[in-house]
A and B are shown apart, each in its own frame.
Chain A
Amino acid sequence: MQGRRPGARGRFLRAMGEYLKPQEAIPGSLYRTIMLAGGLGALVVWGVLTYGGFVSSLFLPSPTDIVRTGIELYRDGSLIVHAKASTFVIFSGWAMAAALAVPLGILMGSFKVVEALIEPVVDFVRYLPVSALIPLLILYIGIGTAEKIAVIFIGTFFQLILLVADVSAHVSKDLLDAAYTLGASRAHVITRVLVPATLPGVMDNLRITMGWAWTYLVVAELVAADRGLGYLILDSMRGLFTDRIFVGLMVIGLLGFATDQFFKWLHRILLPWSPKV
């Protein structure tokens, strides 16, 4: 044993020297192994804490508890109802934000007149916490689904408009000038060059703001909800059903992850020419 130790230590140090260079790529197989180890490690820590009885299930239910509760909620149909309600709220709010923010953002990034007109307002509003606007939203549009959709809308619209404006402001001027010297009119330059040039960036930012929309869900379902994953979490808190809270969290995470992957797939299919694909 004494003879082997320096060798093992030497190998370890060499591996450290090899793989811990800043920004240096590592072999794909090693990357996947470490990734798996990270996931399993978290699971093991979780298992030890819960099955080992170190933490009360009131604070942290065990993996099997959560799976069992998840299956239960799925079987009685409530999980699907909650997931559907939340997905509807998120997609509606986000889609409305996107439909308005993308064209406005492109105009704002391309035309100084539009920028001067709306940037101060947008910059002001986007720093207002969405939760602080809920009382006003209730006053204006009540406590129904519309109010929840409005929360998602406000949470994404003002961010998205600035992100899209930035994308369109960074379209190469030479690209537009090249189109002019090929005989394009201003209208042509806008519709056939400026807009398509923004698509990869717009697509990326739609994906990112969709992710943010999921994080606003609980805020949206804070008031007068009777369904939704956010509601499930808040309602479970009253009876201290920690396992249900975790089921809600898991489903939000999984749905968010799935939409993210869907958008990446969509980007590849719709914009095969994009340098980001």
Chain B
Amino acid sequence: MIARAFKYTRASSVEEALRLLREEGDVKLIAGGQSLLPLMKLRLAMPQRIVDIGRLAALRGVRREGERIVVGALTTHAAVAQNPLLREVVPLLSQAAGEIGDMQVRNRGTIGGSLVHGDGAADLAAAVLALDATLEVTTADGSSSRPAAGFFLGPMLTALPQGAVLTAVSFPEPPDGARQVYRKVAHPASGYAVVGVAALLAMGPDGTVRHARVAVTGAGQAPFRASAAEATLLGRKPTPDLVAEAASHAGDGVEFAGDLYASAEYRRRLTEVHVRRAITDLV
């Protein structure tokens, strides 16, 4: 398991990283290396140069900025799992981060690295979708914000522009009284989600659902929002029958993924069961 020879540069700033991305064609950014290095060792990825942004302190850490919580792209999964502010405000994010891989992976892997890698079974993808996160992206033309919704396009495919650096992920405060959960069925070998369901629910004073987010990872070609399930819940009382009905719509319009371990049909089934159980946990 030895990677093809490559050049290595440790970037001292985001600007330097952007410049290297622009100047050379076959460059990959590396942060924690938990996704890229295995691919390089298997020679499935053979970049000419890797640019290490892993030590850019400005991209690390969790802070509150006004109404939003900002998580630097280099914040490790372990830090996300343990951070008191995140555990209080967006516990489902911490929960999802705590479910990733194993301790070594969580100590090295970063939230930004996981999101831009775009694995269709990444735990954090479901979390950022359910939490209406915004991805802060910097390119040579400047910085911009992109909603998590619409970011995950397909297997290993995201909407991150060529030559861009994801610098942070920010989260709005969830609605008052919102409850959230992440449920995961892990593949027994890889630990990736066969199905991972992130759900967030806020109730109105009349006992009807005021706000609902359900996002699913692992099951489809890319992580997705179960919009039909959300719509079924909105404005109604979440009786067991309604929750079951909502869950039955979780896979509407979704092309499910199948592999040796779990067929597409089984993933559809698991999605329905675990969406129902996740929402039931919250009501």
Is B one of A's binding partners?
no
Write the residues of chain A forming the contact surface with B, with a CB cutoff of 8 angstroms: none
Write the residues of chain B forming the contact surface with A, with a CB cutoff of 8 angstroms: none
